Amino acid sequence: MSTNSDTHVATQGTGRVITRFGAELLVMCGDKTTLRCTTKRKLDNAACGDWVDWQGNPTGTARIDKLHPRKNAITRLTYRGRVNTIAANVDQLIIVSSWLPEPFWDLVDRYLVVAEELGAEAVIVINKQDLAEQYATDADRVALAEYEAIGYSVLHMNTLENIGTDELQQRMRGKTNILLGRSGVGKSSIANKIMPDAAILTANISDSGEGRHTTTTATLYDLGEDAYLMDSPGVRDYAPDNLDAIKLANGYREFKPYLNGCHFSNCTHNHEPKCSVRNAANSGSISSNRYQRYLDALNNL
């Protein structure tokens, strides 16, 4: 991918934000070359993944004139309570866990809530497959089976032996993807496998299983075959911080057939009488494990 803006003959066009650095953005144009742009103040929320219209400047930096409507956006609240967009127009969440550090299914559930809210697909990746025999518990295997039963794809990987890499790349085709997961599960190793040319450094994992950040700025990588990966520590370690009771319940896809059957329209599916969701969990129609994790998440909002 060329990064020389001088190769552009066109004076205007549409492109996609690859990354931003301060007041400037790098935009990928239709011919896969990149263009350095500035943006108007009213468009200063443009983020990695946004589609924009740009206007050339023969004597200086091109300018962003228009931000296209977003399919969705991943946001984070700043310490001042301001909403900051860290990625836009995401098609698929690749939710990474591993057998060491052990799976944290509550966090996987929260990422799945994000996927449902975004209208994005989700793939659950279990990395370090070679450690399954030593560390996977019966409860872990039940959890994975329950995800598959409600329609989520589960993929087992071992980056050391290149197991699962081809299948993951196939699932990424035609989509804009992000990697999510707690520190130490191998997100950097997976990124290195699917885009080795990007030379993402693999974090050293300490005995406690905690990793260290190795990249800083959100960047959109073109993987070929219309597959893209948005990557940065802020994206990889993203945790939803703007959930409420309604968003949480709507993010559990197995709840949806029962949501309109509750006696109270504002039912939280916790203690209220005649709750269809709780009855479904008690009868085994939906996973009681997932329902209990929902209650834990609800109580922690």
Enter the DSSP assignment of 11: S
Identify the CATH number of the domain in which residue 126 sits: 3.40.50.300
**Rounded to whole angstroms, how far apart are CA atoms 247 and 244?**
5
Structure tokens given for 52: 């924009």
295 and 177 housed in the same domain? no
| 176 CB-side CA count, 13 A | 24
**Rounded to whole angstroms, how far apart are CA atoms 131 and 101?**
10
Judge whether residue 196 has pLDDT over 60: yes
Identify the CATH number of the domain in which residue 263 sits: 1.10.40.50
Mean pLDDT of the chain: 88
Q: Is residue 44 part of a domain?
A: yes
Which of 83-87, 94-98, 109-113, 139-143 is predicted least confidently?
A: 83-87
For residue 94, the one-letter residue type is I
| CA-derived radius of gyration, the chain | 21
215 and 270 housed in the same domain? no
pLDDT digits (tens, 9 = 90+) for 1-25: 444 444 455 689 999 999 988 788 9
210 and 285 housed in the same domain? no
Q: Is residue 263 part of a domain?
A: yes
| 191 CB-side CA count, 13 A | 30
* CB atoms near residue 283 (< 10 Å): 9
Q: Is residue 15 part of a domain?
A: yes
211 and 283 housed in the same domain? no
Is residue 91 within 8 A of residue 120, CB to CB? The reply is: yes
221 and 273 housed in the same domain? no
159 and 52 housed in the same domain? no
Domain extent for 48: 5-67
Domain closes at, from 236, 260, 284: 236
Q: Is residue 81 part of a domain?
A: no
Q: What pTM value is reported for the model?
A: 0.89
CA distances from 98 to 175, 177, 194, 236 (A): 24, 19, 18, 15
**Rounded to whole angstroms, how far apart are CA atoms 48 and 218?**
6
Pick the more confident residue, 139 or 45: 139
| pLDDT, mean of residues 91-112 | 97
**Rounded to whole angstroms, how far apart are CA atoms 244 and 211?**
30
Which of 42-46, 153-157, 165-169, 296-300 is predicted least confidently?
A: 42-46
Q: Is residue 222 part of a domain?
A: yes
Banded pLDDT at 200 (limits 50, 70, 90)? very low
Say what the pLDDT of residue 2 is. 45
Report CA dihedral (238, 244, 248, 250) to the nearest 10 degrees: -120
55 and 136 housed in the same domain? no
Say what the pLDDT of residue 58 is. 83
95 and 175 housed in the same domain? yes
Say what the pLDDT of residue 10 is. 67
Phi and psi dihedrals of 167, rounded to 5? -65, -40
| Cis peptide bond upstream of 233, omega within 30 | no
pLDDT digits (tens, 9 = 90+) for 155-179: 999 999 999 999 999 999 999 999 9
Domain closes at, from 209, 236, 263: 236
Total residues found in the chain within this entry? 301
Q: Is residue 276 part of a domain?
A: yes
Q: Is residue 223 part of a domain?
A: yes
Phi and psi dihedrals of 15, rounded to 5? -150, 180
Identify the CATH number of the domain in which residue 10 sits: 2.40.50.140
Is residue 53 within 8 A of residue 27, CB to CB? The reply is: no
228 and 98 housed in the same domain? yes
Which residues are paired to 229 by β-bridges?
Answer: 177, 221
Structure tokens given for 148: 């598959």
Q: Specify the DSSP element, H or E, that contains 116.
A: helix 105-118
Domain closes at, from 193, 214, 236: 236
Could you give the residue ranges of the DSSP H alpha helices within 119-264? 132-135, 138-149, 165-172, 187-194, 233-236, 245-250
pLDDT digits (tens, 9 = 90+) for 227-248: 999 988 778 888 787 889 999 9
Q: Specify the DSSP element, H or E, that contains 108.
A: helix 105-118
Q: Is residue 173 part of a domain?
A: yes
Judge whether residue 185 has pLDDT over 90: yes
219 and 112 housed in the same domain? yes
The total number of structural domains that make up the chain: 3
294 and 212 housed in the same domain? no
Share of the chain above pLDDT 70, in %: 90
| pLDDT, mean of residues 186-196 | 89
105 and 203 housed in the same domain? yes
Which of 6-15, 76-85, 170-179, 201-210 is predicted least confidently?
A: 201-210
